[in-house]
Amino acid sequence: MKSTIRRYAKLMVKIGACVRKDDDVLIVSSLEGAPLAQAITEYCYKAKAKRVTLVYSDEKASRLHFLYQDEATLTDIPSWEAEMKNSYKGKHAVTIRILTEDPHLYDGIDPRKVAARSRATHKALAEYYDNAMANKIRWTLCAVPGEEWAKTVFPDLSPSKAVARLWDLIIKSMRLDEKDCIKAWQDFQAKSLERIEKLNSMNLKQLRYRNSLGTDFTVGLPEGAYFSGAKEYTVYGAPFCANMPTEEIFTLPDKNTGNGRIVASMPLVHNGTVIENFWISLKDGVIVDFNAEKGYETLKNIIETDEGSRHLGEIALVQYDSPIQNLNTLFYNTLFDENASCHFAIGEAYPLIRGAEKMTREQLDALGVNRSGEHVDFMIGTPDLSITGISADGAEIPIFRNGNFCF
């Protein structure tokens, strides 16, 4: 594993965060991610980073906080905690997050307390999240296995074998099994950018989704919207890849459009709770009805976070015949599951509007760019998913047929 960890770390520094001379890097890691975090720290310094700050998070301790603290304490975010992340801004600011999430971490915890803490955190860290969503900093996410996560994915295996198996899948999804994983990622990015250029040349105004699961939904795109993915750039011109792994090509909807029903095709894990077999219905961009067989209260809390959480904020295209989907594994982790499936996000939108960096918040609002304290991805891709693009002149263009891109 030592060699794999070093390859993983080098990939995160060169492709994920694209660390450069004089960068100020913040790494937030799970305890299980410590070896990777330490290796990333070394590679950051080899890339001439000015400073690397490493902070560890402990999920088991987080559960204890929810068990023993009252809601008033949980939602009182210390100023030092907010300032730590809000201070990362400007062209040399970089944040790297290493996740190891237990899908059942908050089982038995009052979902209202979890939702209240989430809202308070987003409010306290609003400056950081705004900068990240607007590509004013470089940021990237990755993951390493933990026993609780691995046992959820592979319940029939012993804990050690489950962790080893999950490592195998992460290695494949990160292309770490390639002889030159850096080049493999660069080749993938180049191919994705070709498809993005094709989509951006279509002058699409609407997308229509249909499948046999029950999704029948049409949504509009704002004026000046464009597709991105695989390799993004900050407003300062620095490249980065926000999700490692990633397979998605994404844009934003006009929050005031969107009519029909969307049926989730995979479970969603949100704040340590699993939401299963759920759907939402929208009218003129507003979520007007929803249900879930499991995790209803958590879904309700997401949708009722604020005014913006009743709207969609992201449209992401991932073909069914993709590397992560072909692993035939439900990861119970959005970082992986969203890159195995087309998805939408409830809440905050990435302002993927041409010239957005020069626009005021009011101008973006007028274009239908959604604002919210939430951004929750949920998966809707199926083998029979059909997506049709409707251009400005009314032409219908096949985008997806039978779950995959038509080009």
Is the per-residue pLDDT at 215 higher than 90? yes
CB 137 within 8 A of CB 88: yes
- Express each pLDDT in 154-201 by its tens digit: 999 999 999 999 999 999 999 999 999 999 999 999 999 999 999 999
The percent of residues in the chain predicted with pLDDT above 70, rounded, is 100
Is the per-residue pLDDT at 135 higher than 90? yes
Q: Give how far the C-alpha of residue 106 lies from the chain's centroid of Cα atoms, to the nearest Å.
A: 20
Check residue 203 and give its pLDDT. Answer: 95
Residue whose tokens read 């292309």 = 175
Is the per-residue pLDDT at 138 higher than 90? yes
CB 92 within 8 A of CB 22: yes
The residue-averaged pLDDT of 206-225 equals 98
CB count within 10 Å of CB 156 equals: 7
Q: Where are the domains of the chain?
A: 2-173, 189-231+245-405
pLDDT band at 226 (very low <50, low <70, confident <90, very high): very high
CA distance 258 to 370: 13
CB count within 10 Å of CB 207 equals: 22
Is the per-residue pLDDT at 305 higher than 90? yes
Residue type, 221: L
Q: Give how far the C-alpha of residue 116 lies from the chain's centroid of Cα atoms, to the nearest Å.
A: 21
Cα torsion through 119, 125, 126, 128, rounded to 10: -140
Q: Give the CATH superfamily of 2-173.
A: Thermophilic metalloprotease (M29) (3.40.1830.10)
Check residue 272 and give its pLDDT. Answer: 86
Is the per-residue pLDDT at 271 higher than 90? no
- Express each pLDDT in 41-77 by its tens digit: 999 999 999 999 999 999 999 999 999 999 999 999 9
CA distance 339 to 48: 31
